[in-house]
Structure 1
Amino acid sequence: MGTLASEEGGEDLASALRRATAMLAEAGVPSPRADAELLADHLLGCGLGRLRSLAVIGAGVPDGFWELVEERSKRVPLQHLTGTAHFRHLTLSVGPGVFVPRPETETLVTLALDWISAQSPVLAAPVVVDLGTGSGAIAAAIAAECRASRVHAVELSEFAYAWAARNVALPEVGGRVELVLGDLRTAFPELDGQVDLVVSNPPYIPAGMVPREPEAAEHDPELALYGGGEDGLELPLATIASAARLLRPGGFFVMEHAEVQAEALSARLARDPAWTSVTSHRDLNDLPRATSAVRVEASPVEELRP
């Protein structure tokens, strides 16, 4: 548990949280009160319930609190300051050099796990590939929640790979993820035609769509954001090509993308004879955020181009 600064002649925790909330709100932080409490809890390690109790009884301010508030006011991501990001049932390690997983991506894991569940008991030990794993969030979550799965994940960035290595080593994951450093375009040739499920949240932001939030625009690595080309579809299309190569007939593919890309990607998959059952899925904000399809051909398909 962290150290509480002396409150003698100074500010107590409740007052500090109010002042920090006002500072963060003025800086445009979307959830200022929650962030102020999370920063204090990061230092104290007591849990939010206990933190609020300490505020009520007039406890002191934890050492280092205002330094963290100042950094958050500069729109440094909360997760970079705490070193953690919560994703489904996991607490992941994150920091500079890796894309911070978003709540919307949890829907992608739900779609993948629902498909696996629908195949039971025929699919006893699903083989899963996560293309462009980033922090390892998707791969780790699937392995943790589907203990029969064998998950393979690939990441191109050495910085992100280092974070992913920590996350796939979590006890909840149980050593069920094979992580490799490499390109999603060519990854896992030894698994061609043998994979049951391919899931991906590839870089997909179009060139002209700079993220509005400073946390993403200034701190998420460009390699994890921009999909290539004016429409951002180069890497999503490469992901589709790799999925077609890897999946067995009847295998399932699901990929996250920008809402403005949903129609183009659905149309591309629908006119390709390698795919059937093309479906668009909406995220927590009711935006078309993911597209899925089922592999119907075993032979390689011609590479898709924007």
Structure 2
Amino acid sequence: MTEVQRALRRASKVIPAADARMLLAHALGVTPARLLTAGPLHGHQIDAFDDLVRARVGGTPAQYLTGRAPFRTVEVAVGPGVFIPRPETEVMTGWAIEVLRGRAGEQTVVELCAGSGAISLAICTELPGHVQYAVELSAAAVEYADVNLAGTGVILLQGDLADALPELDGTVDLVIANPPYVPLESYDGIPAEVREHEPELALFSGLDGLDVMRVLTRTARRLLRPGGWVCAEHAELQHRSAPELFVADGGFDQVRDRCDYNDRPRFVTARRRTTVAGLPL
């Protein structure tokens, strides 16, 4: 057994194995894929790894300790004050990319509740050539998004989604969002490391978790052109209540709920109506 394998086995007794690999790779200055080919560990590397493991045992997210988080084909800078992108959101992002791929010409894309900008970065990396905007309320999160989206051409704006981008009303092809959606009544059920480290603004949204989703529904209706699409992530328990907001709004059709990697309800998609009472918009 190599030194790397011994270090990983020791750490995996107290933290998740995936976190142990991420932290050891960070301590060695290599990618996790290159861990098994890494040479002998030096004393300062072992000390650094042990410090990271202790911090992780104390509840600090591994991504905050490394300052990086993977998302689809990209990696973003993260840290205290910004929400850590989750693998579940990758499926919704992939759905959006396929919608854009199926359309001819340059499309206009708006990400609301952008956080670190991971979704926008993934889209422009995997499918460049579109006009993209990212809107985020938190000043702390915008600092990370600014770093992550630098040089991409994505237009980053700090502001409230409720009145974002009025100059684009009726012209946007795709609105995508991972809004806060945890119900306040579920506060105690959220893991302590999430509650204590990640920003509440990115997590909680009223008693039923849908306060921001209600605003998002109205903003998407305002921004989208007829036939444009919106997709928005939600909690598993909101698989009926989240789509019902888009149905009740009256400005959308083809409302459908969709699942994540684990086949759990995770995001709603809806199309901006092209007609009302048989008349074109």
How far, CA to CA, are the matches of 1:209 and 1:16 in structure 2?
A: 37
Q: Post-superposition shift, 1:175? A: 2.5
Look up the match of 1:186.
163
Q: For residue 268 of structure 1, give the secondary structure of its aligned residue in structure 2.
A: helix
Name the amino acid aligned to 1:85: A
How far, CA to CA, are the matches of 1:245 and 1:298 in structure 2?
A: 15
| Aligned residue among 264, 275, 283 for 2:241 | 264
Show CA shifts across 1:220-260 (max 9, x none).
Answer: 100000112x1111100100100000001111011101111
CA contact (8 A) 2:121 2:152 kept: no
Q: For residue 208 of structure 1, give the secondary structure of its aligned residue in structure 2.
A: helix
How far, CA to CA, are the matches of 1:290 and 1:151 in structure 2?
A: 21
CA contact (8 A) 1:248 1:298 kept: no
How far, CA to CA, are the matches of 2:208 and 2:37 in structure 1?
A: 50
| Aligned residue among 86, 109, 113 for 2:93 | 109
Look up the match of 1:224.
202
TM-score normalized by the length of structure 1: 0.84
Q: Post-superposition shift, 1:73? A: 0.6
- The equivalences for 1:224-303 within 5 A come to 224-228=202-206, 230-296=207-273
Look up the match of 1:137.
118
Look up the match of 1:5.
none
Using the TM superposition, name which of 37-46 and 74-83 deviates more.
Answer: 37-46
Determine if the alignment matches structure 1 residue 149 to structure 2 residue 130. Answer: yes
Name the amino acid aligned to 1:15: R
Q: Post-superposition shift, 1:53? A: 3.4
Determine if the alignment matches structure 1 residue 38 to structure 2 residue 22. Answer: yes
CA contact (8 A) 2:181 2:212 kept: yes
How far, CA to CA, are the matches of 2:79 and 2:267 in structure 1?
A: 26
CA contact (8 A) 2:217 2:245 kept: no
Show CA shifts across 1:54-104 (max 9, x none).
Answer: 47xx54451411111100111210000000000011110000000000000
Q: Post-superposition shift, 1:266? A: 1.7
Look up the match of 1:4.
none
CA contact (8 A) 2:4 2:36 kept: no
Show CA shifts across 1:141-189 (max 9, x none).
Answer: 11112212111111110000101111111xxxx5221001100110001
Q: Post-superposition shift, 1:49? A: 4.8
Show CA shifts across 1:257-298 (max 9, x none).
Answer: 111112012223224331110011011121111011111159
Greater Rg, structure 1 or structure 2?
Answer: 1
Show CA shifts across 1:90-119 (max 9, x none).
Answer: 110000000000000011111111111222
Aligned residue pairs total 272
How far, CA to CA, are the matches of 1:81 and 1:298 in structure 2?
A: 51
TM-score normalized by the length of structure 2: 0.91
Question: What percent of counterpart residues are identical?
Answer: 43
Q: Post-superposition shift, 1:35? A: 1.8
- The CA RMSD over aligned residues, in Å, is 1.9
- When residues 94 and 293 of structure 1 are mapped into structure 2, their CA distance, relative to the original with a 3 A threshold, is same
Look up the match of 1:204.
181
The answer for unaligned runs of 5 or more in structure 1 is 1-10, 25-31, 300-306
How far, CA to CA, are the matches of 2:51 and 2:87 in structure 1?
A: 27
Name the amino acid aligned to 1:161: V
